[in-house]
Structure 1
Amino acid sequence: MRRSWWLGMAAIVWFAATASAVVAAEPNESIARDTPRAPRLVAYLLDRDAPLPAIDAGKLDTVVYSFAVVDADHRVHLPRAGMAERLTQLAERHDGVPRADVLLAIGGWGADHFSEAAASEDARRTFADTAVALVRTHDLDGLDIDWEYPALPGPGISHSPADRDNFPLMLQALREALDALSAQTGRRYRLTIAAADGEAAAGLDLPRIVPLVDAIHLMTYDFFGAGSARTGHHAGLYRSAGASGAADRDTTRAVDEFLAAGVPPHKLVPGAAFYGKAFRTTTTEGAGLHQPFDGEVSFVTWAELQQGYLDTPAFERHLDPQAQAAWLWNPGTRSFVSYESPDTVRAKAAYARLRGLDGLMFWDLGGDDARGTLLEAAHRGLRGGDD
């Protein structure tokens, strides 16, 4: 690995170790909490019709089970056979054994009918009541709303300019329904949303949303993909030295955008990717980075990267010390793979701690290897573990 990369890693780990002092010295990064606590590590878990992975409650604070959906009648439900049983199993409590909080995510890329469910008081009530019924039935700790994205068509979903006004009303209905359940059970239920920066944030009325939610899970990945003109770091922490477009995105830029919009640091959770993206470039320049490409862009989990990529001499390993991002390059096949390594995940977690953010989330737990390599890296970076 490059010496400059390790110098950068040493710097961010040292700074993270003094995060509380740095945050206290910068008023714009102050943390408004009733009681100081450690940052959260949040894992999304995609239902895969398979046995649930082991959940390490010593490392994970929250698991977000994905996805419930909303139908044309504004009702929230679990769409696939077996999901109810797996969700109940995930949330099961055992006397004397701690478990991570379990939230249910509603939506996801391509999930439709949000716009209609948010459009009227009756529709919002139906949405909220059926969503909270799942919280009660499965003994969950809250809900995560993953509308991708209000006021935008996404992959052909229904949308309206009124979504920007209606989404906070939907969240208000959910908050009221969760609070009503709290009055019955004596428990406090969490409400979070998943969001993205740039154009995807145009439909978010953040001043109205922030008071209603416990956290915003910021999807700081998929910065480059099928819709991009060239390759790039799909989950880069900082801007790459070779970035040439004003629209190029990175984690720091996304975090700064939401902070500038008034989201307090203690309600913002950036994300890491437990998968990579593979491109086939049209040139062999720059070891594939910042190059045009053609064909499909494929997703490769971290577990899949262990075989056929990282263990293959044909792929060169590269690290961008400025962006703190990793990539693989096969000059013979012109295959460029942007991915998050244990080092980059740890750096992103340490960055979240340094900035006084609510923690780090990642998509998704099922993409890790059997040893839990990336989970361990996220945990160590967030908790300030020894090198």
Structure 2
Amino acid sequence: MWAALAIAAGLAFAATHSAIAAPSSGPEVIAYVFPQEVQLKPGDIAANRLTRINYAFANIVGGRIVTGFPHDKENFAALTALKKQNPRLKVLVSVGGWTWSGAFSDMALTSESRSVFIQSVAEFIDRYKLDGLDVDWEYPAMAGSTNHFRPQDTQNYTLLLAELRARFDKEEKRLHRQLFLSIAVGGESDFIEHTEMGKVQKYIDTVNLMAYDYYEPGSEPITGNHAPLFANPADPKKISAAQSIQNYEQAGVPAEKIVLGVPFYGHAWGGVQDRNHGLFQPGKSAPETYAKFGNIANTMLNHGYDRYWDAAASAPTLYNPAKHIFVSYEDPQSLALKCKYVLDHKLGGVMFWDYESDPTGMLLNAIDQEFHLPSASNGGTR
């Protein structure tokens, strides 16, 4: 009964919360910044090309949000200072992620445990002068990198976000500034099946849709487009970003709250025979399975790897006939088409994982050109 009352209360908060209105100043460009052990330096981030930074990741220890890496304090200060260059920029902390989602289920289990976490979030945001929280729970009521989940996660996920939103509403009055609440969500339909997205969307500003990793080496017996905009008819899984977007809209998420996630990296398969240039062919994990776009641009393209274009999927691939390696990735052409799709379908914008994977700046340039955002002069080198 308490759960039902809490959800009803949360609905009332959501109905009056102005921060959850649709964006009015153009599409969001959200970068996941993941420096890990590195301390950020001036010029590392092109602040004027972004509207939001999600700093990855904070962890959950003892039911409370805590910093994850040694230089987080310095990095938060460096990122919030970028708002002098770009007043529109917001800096959030993302909690969880694939590796650190194991504590969510216990933390969200009771009203008392959620209250402890939410209090720690409020203190964390205040301490580091942040603009909100991104909840990256991978995944409610499903196994992620651990098997620590329970069926109650489905409703507790809703309750956690409703109670976070209610607390943020109070904190906004105290801080005299807007606080954002977003979530990172899986691209495949099982995430929707294990959550209450029609309710959840009422409490959050954006749903950051991870429309990538549809195919991963080692997870499927064949290669595939890991981030296609559309489904290739030859794709056995018939998956795509467009289909995921449609699924979330059908689940009750307004288009303007959906932020399309794009990868600044690719996946590589080895032992792939030269049929269909390696696409939808048997393969296994290559020695370097995770290929950052910077490495693709500098060491693969024009270095033994031939580029092919899957027109049906609007996705590029690479194939090395000598090494029998196939690569699925994102490039400026495919990214420009995704940005156009965002504009045409009035989505909330794009987010990408992760900033550090493209030191060339080519992919961020492609977003910039399609969205016609202000130039990055004096905003960073990339």
Residue identity matched to 1:105: S
| Deviations 1:70-128, CA, capped at 9 Å, x for gaps | 12x21110122111221122112665763621010000002211000100011101111
TM-score (norm 1): 0.86
Q: For residue 36 of structure 2, what is the aligned residue in structure 1?
A: 48
Aligned counterpart, 2:112 = 122
Q: Residue 343 and residue 97 in structure 1: after superposition, are their counterparts in 2 closer, same or farther (change >3 A)?
A: closer
Q: Tell me the equivalent position of 2:378.
A: none
Match of 1:219 among 210, 217, 223: 210
Equivalent position of 2:281 in the other structure: 291
- In structure 1, stretches of 5+ residues that fail to align are 1-31
Structure 2 equivalent of residue 202 of structure 1: 193
Aligned residues of 2:31 and 2:50 also touching (Cα < 8 A): yes
Structure 1 residues 119 and 307: CA distance shift in structure 2, 3 A: same
Letter in 2 for 1:131: V
- Equivalence map 1:1-387=2 (5 Å): 36-52=24-40, 54-71=44-61, 73-92=62-81, 98=87, 100-111=89-100, 112-196=102-186, 197-225=188-216, 226-243=218-235, 245=236, 247-296=237-286, 298-312=289-303, 314-370=304-360, 372-383=361-372
* CA distance, structure 2, for counterparts of residue 84 and residue 46 of structure 1: 14
Whole-angstrom distance in 2 between the partners of 1:94 and 1:241: 45
Q: Is the 8 A contact 1:346 1:382 kept in 2?
A: no
Structure 1 counterpart of 2:198, one-letter code = P
Contact 2:21 2:205 in 1 (8 A): no
Q: Deviations over 1:4-43 (max 9, x none)?
A: xxxxxxxxxxxxxxxxxxxxxxxxxxxx957743111111
Give the Cα separation in 1 of the matches to 2:88 and 2:333: 27
Return the alpha-carbon distance in structure 2 between the equivalents of residues 345 and 98 of structure 1. 26
**Distance across 1 between alignment mates of 2:23 and 2:297:** 41
Deviation at 1:332, TM superposition (A): 1.4
Pairwise CA distance, 1:309: 0.3
Q: 1:175 Cα shift?
A: 1.2
| Counterparts of 1:289 and 1:95, CA distance in 2 | 46
- RMSD of equivalent CA atoms: 1.9
Structure 1 residue 169, shift from structure 2 partner: 0.8
CA deviation profile, 1:253-278 (whole Å, cap 9, x unmatched):
10000011110011100111100111
- Structure 1 residue 182: Cα displacement: 0.7
Contact 2:83 2:89 in 1 (8 A): no
Question: CA–CA distance in 2 between the matches of 1:287 and 1:97?
Answer: 44
Q: Structure 1 residues 170, 232: CA separation in 2 closer, same or farther (over 3 Å shift)?
A: same
Percent identity over paired residues: 29
Asked if the contact 2:48/2:85 (under 8 Å) is kept, the reply is no
Structure 1 position 198, deviation (Å): 1.5
Is the partner of 2:335 in helix, strand or coil?
helix
Q: What amino acid is aligned across from residue 80 of structure 1 in structure 2?
A: F
CA 176–203 in structure 1, closer or farther in 2 if over 3 Å, else same: same
Q: Deviations over 1:209-237 (max 9, x none)?
A: 01100010000010100211211110110
Whole-angstrom CA distance in 1 between matches of 2:226 and 2:82: 37
What is the one-letter code of the residue matched to 1:74? G
Residue deviations 1:33-72 (CA, integer Å, cap 9, x gap): 577431111111112322426333322100100000112x
* SS of match in other structure, 1:47: coil
State whether residues 57 and 98 of structure 1, in contact with CA within 8 Å, keep that contact through their aligned partners in structure 2. no
Q: Answer whether contact 2:29 2:50 (CA < 8 A) is retained.
A: yes
- Quick one: which amino acid aligns to residue 338 of structure 2? K
CA–CA distance in 1 between the matches of 2:21 and 2:69?
A: 39
CA 1:187–1:33 in structure 2 vs 1: closer, same or farther (change >3 Å)?
closer
Task: Give 2:64's aligned amino acid.
Answer: R
Q: C-alpha distance in 1, partners of 2:372/2:195?
A: 31
